[in-house]
Structure formats: structure tokens, C-alpha cells
Amino acid sequence: MNYYNSIIDTIGNTPLIKLNKVAKGIRGTVLVKVEYFNPGNSVKDRIAVRMIEDAEERGVLKPGGTIIEGTSGNTGMGLALAAIGKGYKCIFTMADKQSKEKIDILRAVGAEVVVCPTNVSPEDPRSYYSVAQKLNRDIPNSFYPNQYDNTANAAAHYETTGPEIWRDTDGRVTHFAAGVGTGGTISGTSRFLKEQNPNLISIGLDTYGSVFKKYKETGQFDEGEIYPYMTEGIGEDILPKNVDFGVIDLFIKVTDRDAAIMTRRLAREEGLFVGWSCGTAVHGALEWAKDHLNDDDVLVILLPDHGTRYLAKVYNDTWMKDHGFLEDRAFKTARDIIRHKNGSSQLTTIGSGVSVNQAIHVLNRYGISQIPVTDDDGHIVGSLTDSTVLNRLIEDPAVKDHPVSEVMDKPFKFVGLDNTIDALSSLIDRDNKALLVRDEKEQIHIITQADLLAAMTN
């Protein structure tokens, strides 16, 4: 008889499938490794079993224990399936930007789900990182896998994903591309493949609002890169230990909109009903491949999960239109505002060391009421508004001779190019008078309350 002892034994050995229509015009061979063939419909099944078995071997997970993890959904599903097979309980914390389908699926397989706010720092006690850690401290006989820093994450891919790709391409793979979140998939897989072929190029796909690309290129962790984005399971506002920048050759950023559109194309044109970050990986990798792939090259792109997690979002026409992701969209985006301002949104800044009096002259000269403040290296470190200056001068007229650094407010928030007017409006308030956005060329633009009013009335 041919059967498996448990669902856990069906994990891995997912197929490579050639892209045809969406890769038209690309030289070489473009293959996707389709991880939704795993029983939990995602690549995270691999690391879930590996982390649990590692914990069992180390004696930190005992019979009857509780597994507690912060997840975007897929790791939770893998852990839940492994827990069912091994007899553990599960509690998962998730950010509220995750799809309702992911939450419902986790509850369906017996897990308890705690939903936490998205737009808080990792150190905030309300973040899904912090809540998971607190539950781990408070609940006896519990285990916190911490997929971000647990080296069993990358080890799972070094031991399984990498060897499968090498075997199934007969050792001909020349390029590997994957989205980067915890970093385990791309780091473990790339490390194995580069040991077989030191010339292999590893491409990390990132999203606007994440810190990875700039950190790889400059070594600088820039908090100014961090702002809300919608694509799930990719990008980070922290540097997980599983991200091995030494084996990732380059990063490419992809917008929420481009990722969503490619995700739908993969379903419609290739029959691959995949998740949102799969669109990120394919769009970014193909854009790079247009100028870099040769006829004999073999590019493998990893597709991490299944489309059922995104039925109410990417695969819902109304949701796509409301968020400006379809051409007949009902809402304008930050991208549209910048484009329609005909370049007038390019940034004017002022140094933190200049006097308040000089700053007033700059505000008057350009006819603006707010301006970002930069340090000597050009990094944005604060903001100045005419109302702040006026209030400080009323309190103390001598302030006009003080440096701007003594009166400036916190920096304006960064937002994504595809954030819609409703989202932008919710971010502008009495404490944050303007927003900043980076375009595809990494140039910074400013969006003010006046810009939003103009966009709403046009």
C-alpha cells in the first residue's frame, strides 16, 4: 500500500513550472517553484516542521505544550498542521492588515488567533511581535519559534528547497529569486545553490516601506524607509537574523499595485492561483530579467502561497478598484498626486543648523507652510511648520536666532506610492501636517493637505 503516516510527510518536493505568457520576450528559461502544493498551501510548511523538531531535540518543547508565534498567516498554518500531527496547542498573533481568510483558516484548524495593530513599532507592547513574546512568558510549557531569528528557518530551505531546485533543474539554475520577509527562504536556498554554483545570482524582492534594499546597498538601517504598505508576508521594519545579506546579491522593490496586478495575471494567464507576494516576486524578477538574462540562463522564482488567502483583496474587483489597483479606479493615489503636480512636489528641505529666522525666509520665499529638516548628511531628521514657528516666537521672540533643531517637530511620515486618498487623509492630522513619498527613482516628494484637497475636488 502507498500512503503517508501523517500530513507532515507530504511536505516538500513541490513542482517547477515554466512561465509562458507573462514571461514573453524574456530570454532564457523562467521557472516558478509552486509552494502551494504543500499541504498547508505555502512554503512555510517546511520551516514549521523543522522549527518544531529542532525544539523537541533541544528539549524546549515538551508533550502537551503550546506553540506561540507571530505570523502573517502562512507560518501559522504550517505550525498548526505540524501541531495537529504531534499533539500541541497553538496561539498565533497577527497584524490587522492580514486577510480575514488567513485568520479564518487558522481558527478552522484549531488555533487561537490574537489580532494586533499594524501601524506600531516592533517594540510597541501592542505589536504582534511583542504580544507573542508576552504570551510565551506568561503561559507555562509554551514555545515561541520566532521564525525571524530561529536558524532552523533558513536550515529548512538549505536542506530541502535548495536541493530540490538543483535536482529538478539538473544543476542548470543560474538565477534564484524570492520575496524576503523573515529571510529564511532566500537565505537558506541561496546558500545551498551558491555552494553548488558560486556564480549563481540571488535576487531578493522587497516592497516599498521595507528596510531591506537600502540596508543591503548602504549598510544603513534607515527608519525613514519604513511606512505602511499592504502586500502581505514580505518586507520588514526589522532585520531578522535569518536574512543573510551575504548570499543575496541584490534587492528589487515592487509596489503594492504592481504586485497585485501581476498576481491576477498569473491566475488568468498561467493558471497559477497564487498569493499577493507571488506577484511581487514575479514582477520584480521579470523586470530585472529583461535586461540581464541570457539565452542559456535558468531563472527560478519561488511562489510562496495560494490565492485562497486573498479572495477578499487581490481577487476582488471592488477591493482592487477602491485601492486604485485597476485602471478604472475610483480613488486617486499618491502616485497620481505627484504626477499631476508636474514636478512641483519635489522636495525643498532646510538644514537643522540654520536659524529659525532663515527658515522663515525659506518658507516665505517658496510660499509653503511646512518643510522637512535634514542633518549634515542629508537625512530627514525633523519637520518645521509655520504654526510651530509662530507659537514658539510668541512664547519667546529670541527663538528666531536659535537653530531649527531646537524648535523642529518629528519628521513627516513616509507613505507608499499606491496609498489612496482615503489612506493619505487618515495620516494627515494636527501632529503630522504633510506626508513624504519616494518615487521609483528614489526621489522624495511631499504631499500636503492642499494637495489632498485639490485631488479630491478634481
- CATH numbers and ranges of domains, the chain: 7-42+151-322 (3.40.50.1100), 44-143 (3.40.50.1100), 334-457 (3.10.580.10)
Is the predicted pLDDT of residue 430 greater than 90, yes or no? no
Would you state the pLDDT for residue 241?
A: 95
pLDDT of res. 331: 57
Q: How many CB atoms are closer than 10 A to CB 88? A: 23
- What pLDDT band is residue 344 in, cutting at 50, 70 and 90? low
Query: What sign has the CA pseudo-torsion 379, 243, 204, 267?
Result: negative
Which triple of cell numbers denotes residue 111?
488555533
Indicate the pTM of the whole model. Answer: 0.76
Predicted local confidence at residue 106, as pLDDT: 92
* Percent of the chain surpassing pLDDT 70: 97
Answer whether residue 447 shows pLDDT above 70.
yes
Within 8 A by CB and 6+ apart from 290, the residues are 25, 26
List pLDDT tens digits, range 197-232: 999 999 999 998 899 999 999 999 988 888 778 888
Average pLDDT (33-48) is 96
Instruction: Please report the pLDDT score of residue 269 as a whole number.
Output: 95
User: Which of 415, 417, 424 lies closest to 455 in space, CA to CA?
Assistant: 424
Q: Mean pLDDT across the chain, nearest whole number?
A: 91
Q: What is the pLDDT of residues 43-62, one digit of tens each?
A: 999 999 999 999 999 999 99
Q: Which residues are catalytic?
A: 44
For helices 100-108 and 74-86, angle between their N-to-C axes, nearest 10 degrees = 0
pLDDT for 345 equals 53
Specify the residue for cell string 531569528.
Answer: 149
Give dist(CA 160, CA 440) in Å, integer: 35
Of 240-249, 301-310, 409-418, the range with the lowest mean pLDDT is 409-418
> What backbone torsions phi and psi does residue 112 show, to the nearest 5 degrees?
-90, 135
Distances in Å between the alpha carbon of 186 and those of 177, 201, 212, 238, 275? 7, 11, 13, 17, 17
Identity of the residue numbered 152: A
pLDDT band (50, 70, 90) for residue 102? confident
pLDDT digits (tens, 9 = 90+) for 129-144: 899 999 999 999 999 9
Q: Which long-range contacts (CB under 8 A, 24 or more apart) does 392-397 make?
A: 392/356, 393/356
- CA 46: distance to chain centroid? 20
How deeply is 75 buried, as exposed, middle or buried, from its count of CB atoms within 10 A (0-12, 13-18, 19+)? buried
Q: Which of the 8 DSSP states describes residue 403? A: B
In the chain, how many H helices and how many E strands?
16, 16
